Structure 1
Amino acid sequence: MNDNWAIRLKNATSRATFPYEVEEQQVGPPAPDLDRAMPWIPGDLITFFREVGPLSLPDIGNGYFLYPPTPVDRPDRLDDEEIVVFGSNGGGDQYVRILADGRILRLQGLAYIDGVYFSNDVGVKRVGDDLVDFLNRLVVAVEAFADHGHITDL
């Protein structure tokens, strides 16, 4: 992970102004003791949470939240692909990483039954080619909100 990314994100959240009382915007702290008890969790996610930590930005746009994967005995699925859910936005959408190729998707309004998300024509959107691409898009969205009040849809 790139420390510059976390610094840019913290700077942008500190610049943001709000016309209402806000909750605390939080980046980190790092979780260096993050357990690898789930060997199927990709190394890029483990590294992110060990070096940066969870992210809670409830008042930036509609909200952005990145959290370590919860301990489960197997990955979730999106149709036929194994995925890891690692974040959400303030609208209830889920951010997931495809285990096979690293793509980051936003899942919106999908049925979830017994660990499987069932896609539809509008409920799945690619929001990053990989975790680094997603994080770069996220920091740009937070900077746009801090500088101009623009809400960017990830």
Structure 2
Amino acid sequence: MSDRSLSPTWLASWASRVSETLKAMTGDFERRHGFPSGVNEVRLADHADQAAGRTLTQVSLVAADLVTFYDSIGEVTCPDVGNGYFVDPAVDVLLRFKQYGAVDVGADQKDGGLVIGSNGGGLSYVVGPGGVIYRTRTASLDEPELDQVADDLGEFLEQQLERSLTPFVANGEPGCL
């Protein structure tokens, strides 16, 4: 796990950078792809998002960065980047947890992880109780096979999402989301 923690200031800066990149992408999208873009945005958190994020801490062992994230960011939707990319709103994460429980992230983790989003191609992103981010290898969460994709949420947002957007805007290749 990384030594850094997310801060509201870092998240505001990240949201601004990603929003500008998404704006550049959608401005030229229809000309390049032949159809209009969907809603590609980083939506800032409202009171409902913040309350749902805090509720997550009451029902499961949640990494502090996830609560900080949901205090600042409501959701991330990028349906036009590759197959799509989504970080779900806290209320959806909470509902999924209540309906299906935690995801088994391995024997060394006594508490399970939470599904926080997907890549639009059927694979899910799971945050473990220590903050590590995993991606499923298949669409099934019953007995998931997981690959670690980031040491923490900040690395995931920056390395996986933000750094994949720039080449996508330039040449249509989203990288390894």
TM norm structure 1: 0.83
Does structure 2 retain, via aligned residues, the 8 Å contact 1:25–1:59?
A: yes
Question: What CA deviation, in whole Å up to 9, does each residue of 1:78-110 have, x standing for no partner?
Answer: 3433111101011010011111x3211110215
When you count helix as a share of all residues, which structure comes out higher?
A: 2
Residue deviations 1:96-143 (CA, integer Å, cap 9, x gap):
1111x3211110215433xxx332xxxx32211111100101111112
Correspondence list, 1:75-154, <5 A: 75-80=102-107, 81=109, 82-99=112-129, 101-109=130-138, 111-113=140-142, 117-119=143-145, 124-137=146-159, 138-154=161-177
Which is worse superposed, 35-44 or 2-11?
35-44
Matched-pair contact (CA < 8 Å) for 1:15–1:147? no
- Pick closer, same or farther for the CA change 1:142–1:150 going to 2, 3 Å: same
Cα shift readout 1:23-59 (whole Å, capped 9, x = no counterpart)? 1112113134323233223221121122022011100
Count of aligned positions = 146
- CA distance, structure 2, for counterparts of residue 110 and residue 96 of structure 1: 12
Question: Residue 34 of structure 1 aligns to a residue in which SS?
Answer: helix
Name the residue aligned to 1:14. Answer: 23
List gaps (5 residues or longer) in structure 1.
none
Identity in percent: 27
Q: CA deviation at 1:5?
A: 0.7
1:48 to 51, 58, 69: 69
Residues 148 and 110 (structure 1 numbering): CA distance in 2 closer, same or farther, change over 3 Å?
Answer: closer
Is residue 50 of structure 2 the alignment partner of residue 28 of structure 1? no
- Any residues of structure 2 matched to 1:54-69 within 5 Å, and which? 54-67=75-88, 68=90, 69=93
**Alignment partners' CA distance in 2, 1:89 and 1:112:** 14
Unaligned runs of 5+ in 2: 1-6
Correspondent of 1:37 among 47, 50, 55:
55
Answer yes or no: is the 8 Å Cα contact 1:92–1:108 preserved in 2. Answer: no
